[in-house]
A and B are shown apart, each in its own frame.
Chain A
Amino acid sequence: MSAARTPAERAARLLRWYPRVWRDRYGEEFSELLISDIEERPRSAGRGFDVARGGLVARLAAAGLAGRPLPAPGTGAVSPQVRYQQVSASLGSLGGVLAAFLTVAAALWSELVIYRQALSPPATGVHLPAPALPTPAATALLATDVISVAMLALLALAVLAALPVLATLVVRLRAADGAGRMSLGRPAAVLVACVTFLFIGGRHFGNGWPGTGGHGSFVPAGLAAFEWATSLSVSAYWAHPASFFALFPRLEVYWMATSPLALAASVIAGVVLIRRAGLSPRVLAVEVRLAEAACGVMVAVLGAAALWVATSGGSNLASGGILPPFHAGLIDLACTGLLAIALPVAVQASRMARRELLFARSAR
């Protein structure tokens, strides 16, 4: 019961709202203030809310998404080194958001390409049932093309961004001592394991791709199948467990359940590596430019997805109970909403990275 806790225990509990880096700097003095405040006003609903809000702001700052880097104790100054670390934190957050964005966008894009495949005349020997569907909306076809190009651009940017990070990691791992090697080696091992799992699973389940790959689009077939397979977990079937388990083979269900976990673990490991790699100012400058370019491409993806969802005719059924082509359901609306949430976070991370990079350069 909270009433039995001492002020020190309550203060320690409140302090958990803040990230470790903040607690290292302000933890002791802030605890003392909290203890005094609790002793003076044992019951205060506003205090808990205020501390929670402050803690969340501090966590956003630690993630490079808000505020400023913390000043060094004693000097009060923010060194260029700390500012570069903040740039890495912003880029790490952007990388995480971009991975989530890519997964959701891949799910939407796969659906659009499958629709397109179903409407196209069979040219490769694959005959899908072609019911008498109304003419697909030109906007949906446009959205398919825009997202196809954008997905390729995002993947290219991700590869370009990853190369200098990987090179830096290799150099750091070679030069590191035992503790340093562990600090980089552990997340690197997690990342390699998760990416390997996703690669093998994506290749295996990509064989079930219902289209001929990127038929009618600009994306190579193998890549299209892989993107589809790795985003299978983004599915409306989760809301219908009975049909979910009846329709899909057990192995595919396991894949749909574990692939997002592997993706999340690889993203977390990647973010940790970016923050610990100690990227040089020159690499950081390149990464910031790539991040800004990625944000521009994300705008195009979101715009195209929103255009499709807005013009698809919603959940209206065509005559005969057949869904119109390029029909967007609730899952597509939810996915577009997720993209709309991810985009401003990515833009904010990119903005913060640019700002701290400029301050770090001007302070040198």
Chain B
Amino acid sequence: MPKRRDGTRPDHGAGLAGFGRYAGPATLILSSLADGPKHGYALTKDVEEFAGVRLAPGTLYEALARLESQGLIEALESEDRRRPYRLTAAGAVALQAHLDAQRRVTDTGLRRLAANWGTA
């Protein structure tokens, strides 16, 4: 992502490009919320089920705070002490773009493996 003249990067519409090491947890969270709103523990269980990765509580909430501050998810009114989150329209666009980019990498890798190594 290009920097501004002052050396900073734009904060809005950045998708997952500026997430650094939180890009992985952010992708998992957005993918989980694409199926509907969930609170923290439900998110952890869902991600564990579809990705085989257990997001630790601290990591989960660091990623949630970042996603929320960038407007990619939003907090809903909580019925109890557990606050659910849902994907926003901007979050859906960012997730789509990120997964498309990942799919291009995956497709390329699989195609090259098949051509040169006879696998996949």
Contacts and interface: CB of A to CB of B under 8 A. Distances in A.
A37 B68 CA distance: 22
Interface string A13-42: 000000000000010111111101100000
Nearest to A41: B54
A327 interface: no
B73 interface: yes
B2 to A, nearest CB: 15
Interface stretch (B36-44, B99-107, B112-120): B36-44
B73 A76 contact: yes
A68 B74 contact: no
B6 A33 contact: no
B57 interface: yes
Contacts of A149: none
A55 B61 CA distance: 10
Contact of B69 (A33, A54, A68): A68
Given A34-B57, A78-B69, A358-B8, A29 B62 contact: no
Contacts of A26: 61, 64-65
Interface stretch (A45-53, A175-183, A186-194): A45-53
Contacts of B75: 73-74, 76
Interface string A222-237: 0000000000000000
Contacts of A78: 69
Contacts of A36: 41
Contact of B65 (A50, A70, A74): A70
Contacts, number: 86
Nearest to B83: A29
A344 interface: no
A85 B82 CA distance: 28
A78 to B, nearest CB: 5
Q: Is the interface of A mostly helix, strand, loop or mixed?
A: helix
Contact of A51 (B8, B58, B66, B82): B58
Interface string A89-126: 00000000000000000000000000000000000000
Contacts of B81: 28-29, 31-32
Interface in A57-94: 57-58, 67-71, 73-74, 76-78
A228 to B, nearest CB: 39
Contact of B56 (A31, A46, A68): A46
A33 B40 CA distance: 6
A47 B57 contact: yes
A30 B69 contact: no
Given A68-B69, A74-B77, 8 more contacts: A29-B40, A31-B81, A32-B80, A36-B41, A46-B56, A58-B62, A71-B65, A354-B6
27 contacts: A26-B61, A26-B65, A28-B78, A28-B81, A28-B83, A29-B39, A29-B78, A29-B81, A29-B82, A29-B83, A30-B57, A31-B81, A32-B39, A32-B41, A32-B80, A33-B60, A36-B41, A37-B57, A47-B57, A68-B66, A70-B65, A71-B65, A71-B68, A74-B77, A76-B68, A76-B88, A77-B71
9 pairs of A and B residues whose beta carbons are closest in the complex: A54-B58, A50-B56, A33-B40, A50-B58, A76-B74, A29-B83, A36-B41, A28-B81, A51-B58
